[in-house]
């Protein structure tokens, strides 16, 4: 897969995520695209929410906890008003 194809795939996943309002929908997007890695899922959720930097967070979380937190923030939907 070349860089253009990868970029298009990521854009399609982000678009599908943007349309997802429930946990089951988000999980279905990741399953459909064979994205099992929590770090990749976190990155895609953040990309969809236009989160550029999280380096100033105080607490260090496990990958599972970080994914749960990001998913909760994503599903809360308040970020949609900021973009």
pLDDT tens string, the chain, 83 residues long: the values are 799 999 999 999 999 999 999 999 999 999 999 999 999 999 999 999 998 777 667 778 899 999 999 999 999 999 988 87
pTM (predicted TM-score): 0.89
23, 71 in Cβ contact below 8 A? yes
Provide the residue ranges of all domains of the chain, joining segments of one domain with +: 3-82
Q: Of 41, 39, 11, 12, which Cα lies nearest the Cα of 26? A: 41
């Amino acid at each position: 897969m070349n860089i253009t194809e990868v970029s298009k795939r990521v854009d399609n996943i982000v678009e599908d995520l943007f349309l997802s309002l429930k946990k089951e929908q988000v999980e279905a997007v990741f399953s459909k695209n064979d994205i099992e890695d929590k770090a990749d899922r976190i990155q895609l959720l953040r990309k969809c929410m236009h989160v550029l930097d999280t380096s100033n967070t105080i607490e260090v979380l496990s990958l599972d906890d970080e994914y749960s937190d990001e998913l909760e923030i994503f599903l809360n939907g308040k970020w949609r008003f900021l973009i």
